[in-house]
Each structure stands twice: as structure tokens, then as C-alpha cells.
Amino acid sequence: MLKSWLVKRGYLVETAPGASEAKQMVKEQPFDLILTDIRMPDTDGLTFLSWVRKYDSDIIVIMITGYADVESAVLSMKAGAADYIPKPIEPEHLFKKIDEAFQIQEYKNKNNRSSNDFILPPGKDYQLLIRQLDQLAEQNEHRLLIGDRGTGKVSAVKYVYEKGILPSRPLIQLDPDQLGGNKSSNALYDNQEENRSALMEKFFAARGGLLYIRKVDQLDINLQNELLNILTKQARDEHYTQVIMSTEKSRSELERSLIPKLFRLLDEKSITLPTLKGKKQAIDSFVSHFLHFANQTLDKQIQTIDQAIYKQMYDYAWPGNIQELKNCVIQAALLTEGKHMPADIAPRLFGKIAIRQGSSATISTPMLNLRKENYEKEKIMEALRLAKGNKTMAASILNIDRKTLYNKIKLYNVTT
């Protein structure tokens, strides 16, 4: 009956006879909302709600209850349910509850997008960066972002998009890893036309909006020529598409990777993102930001961090920059019980320091040393391990949306 009502309102709906079947379905699909009875044959609704909150905290849960279970429904809201609805259920009342739940979630997301928003910490380097990005958004020009791993290139692109492009215009991303091989492989040579089509398909999908090309240095010569045409021959009309590219290569390495005309065009007005090493004020700012996000996502109440952990953070070289620091804070939050993050968790965060040079340290970090084969699959597995299986947190660690994470889990047959 409920499915029939909801399908008529345009929702895609699945049903499950009990919690066991529902859990399996949640593992396979990124559901937006769950309607569940408080009383079920194999478990109670509160236990199921607790599992959902830990597995994917972005799923909205509305409890269905008989009048005798109102007290349990109130407890369920304290445990994280969005709302409850008593039986017998009236269709319009149900639709109103669902609409309100989605509106509340959208409001929360707009006012608390702590996981991926562009963060501006103190310091001259970041003040310069924000001025450059503001100018880029205002002028709607093409640009190259140069930055080491984890310096926030994706977040910078999103900042430019949200500040400079109308929300109705598309933001499309192209990763050379999605193309047929790398520049030196025979597969790429054989698939040149296919790769050109893939580039142009992305470009037309971004029409009037923004196309973000990651690892531009990995494009083969033919694709570089196509890109050069896109950058230099576009008309400034309603279909004009801004193109932002990024690379982790140094300028000298980039010059060897790109055709001369493209390199000169990109190098002229490139933007370099600062690294995190040695920037205490920036580290403090990022830690505060990510701890706030971890508290909300993991339902923690951590208020203070032991100074010994801060010292380790200041001394560490952060080869993975902001992304690595974010993962560190999330892992620390998972290890913390109570309101204070204790010093005794530091060894589990930083391990044994292998090399020390002056005030900086270099250590082995799993997320930075994954094997090249099955690289993406291993990244997903490591993120899930760090997040203790929480899909919302794992998606944040990987800097992708949760629906993309579900698709990749299914693609790589990752056990969750």
C-alpha cells in the first residue's frame, strides 16, 4: 500500500519484509529515505535505526508506530530518526512528513557542508589563493591549478563553480584515468578516436558551465591538441564553457609533458595551491573544521585535543596535505570516547616515525602508499576501514558523493 502511494508521487521504492533483508538492500543501493516499523519480526526498529546511522548517516529514517509505541517513537528521534508517523497512516500526512524531512536535510546540508567546502585558514598563502580564485570566478576564465596531492584542488574548483557559475549550469569532471590507458600505452594509441570522443562528450555535457580536467599532464598529444582548440576557439556566448585543469607536477615536469603551445597558455596564469607542512595556524584551522564535521557525522562530542597530538601534527610533514590531515582527524575522532582526545591514541594515528629531518617527520601512511594495481579499490577499502564502515564518512574521506561510492563498491565487488 505504501509503495503504491509513493510510486504514484514519483518516488523509486523498494520494500523489505524485515530488517535483515533491508540491511542487504541498503548495502547495495544509496537509499535517500527509509520508512520502518518500530516493531518487526527479526529485530526492533531502534536497533535497525542504530545500524543505519552507523552504516550511512545520510539516509533519512522515519519510524512507523502504533499509538501504544509513541514513547518508543520519541526515543527513536533522540537516536537519530528524522520523524515518526502513527498508524493508521493517511497518505497526505505521510507525504507531508517526507517533504519536511527532505527540506530539513537540505537546510542542514546548506548550513553545515563541513566535509568538502573550501576552507580558508589564516596565512598569507591562503589569502593570496582566495583572491586568485575569486578573480577566476569573476572573470570566468580558463585556468591551471598546480598543487601537490591533497592540497584541495577539487574543493577549489567547487568554490570557483559555486561563486561564479549559475547553479543551473553543469559542473563536469574528466579524469584521464577514465580514458583508455596512459600516454605511453598501445591501448591509448588504438583508442585515440574513442578518447577524443570521451573528451568532447564531457565538454558538451558541461556546455555553459564548468569542465574540470584532473591530471592534465596525463593527456596524450592528440587530446592536448583538442584541449588547446577548446581553450582558444570558444566564443564568449551563452554556451561558453569554463575549463579548469589541475596537475600535481612541478612546472619543469609539466613543460616536458605538454605540447609547447598548451604549456605556455596554461603556465601564464596558473594558480599554485600551498602545501600544509609547517603551517601551524592553518593546521589549527583545518583541525577545528574537520573535528566539527566528525562530531556531527559520527555523533561525537569531542571538545578538546591533547597538546601532544597537536605537537605531532605540527612536526609531521603531511605529504598528503589537507586530505591526509582530514583523514587523521576522522580516525582520531573514531578512536576517542568522551569529550577529550587523549594523547595515548597518537601512536595509532602516526605510528613509528621513520625519518626525522629538523622539525619535520616522515611516516608511512596507508592511504598514500597503496599499490598501483587495484589502486582505486584499495583506496575505497582503506577509507571504509578508517570510517569503520560508515559510508557517509568513507565518501568524505575519498572526496566523492555517497552514490558514487556505492557504485564503485558494486563495480569493484568490495565487501562491506
- Does the fold of domain 124-272 match that of domain 2-111? yes
- Cβ(412)–Cβ(398) under 8 Å? no
Q: Provide the grid cell at 125.
A: 598563502
Q: What would the pLDDT profile of 28-51 be if each residue is shown by its tens digit?
A: 899 999 999 988 877 888 899 999
Q: Are strands 360-362 and 355-357 parallel, antiparallel or unpaired?
A: antiparallel
Give residue 392's pLDDT: 83
Query: Grid coordinates standing for 19?
Result: 530488517
The residue type of 124 is K
DSSP 205-245: HTTTSEEEES-GGGS-HHHHHHHHHHHHH--SSTT--EEEE
Architecture of domain 2-111: 3-Layer(aba) Sandwich (3.40)
Longest dimension (CA), the chain: 75
Of 98, 76, 94, the residue nearest 31 (C-alpha): 98
d(CA 326, CA 150): 10
Other Cβ atoms within 10 Å of 402 Cβ, number = 20
The CA-based angle 395-397-402, given to 5 degrees, is: 5
In the chain, count H helices and then E strands. Answer: 19, 12
What is the rounded CA–CA span in Å between residue 242 and residue 206? 9
Give the domain 124-272 fold. Rossmann fold (3.40.50)
Sequence-ordered strand ranges (E) for 291-349: 304-305, 340-341
210 contacts 184 by C-beta, under 8 angstroms: no
The average confidence (pLDDT) of the chain is 84
Q: Residue ranges of the domains in the chain?
A: 2-111, 124-272, 280-411
Q: Would you place residue 167 in the very low, low, confident or very high pLDDT band (cuts 50, 70, 90)? A: low
Taking 90 as the threshold, does the pLDDT of residue 330 lie above it? no
Closest CA to 151 of 277, 328, 290, 254: 277
Is the entire prediction scored with pTM above 0.75? Answer: no
CATH assignment of 280-411, among 1.10.8.60, 3.30.930.10, 3.90.1570.10, 2.60.40.10: 1.10.8.60
Residue 179 has pLDDT above 90, yes or no: no
Q: Compute the Cα dihedral for 78, 79, 82, 88 and give only its sign.
A: negative
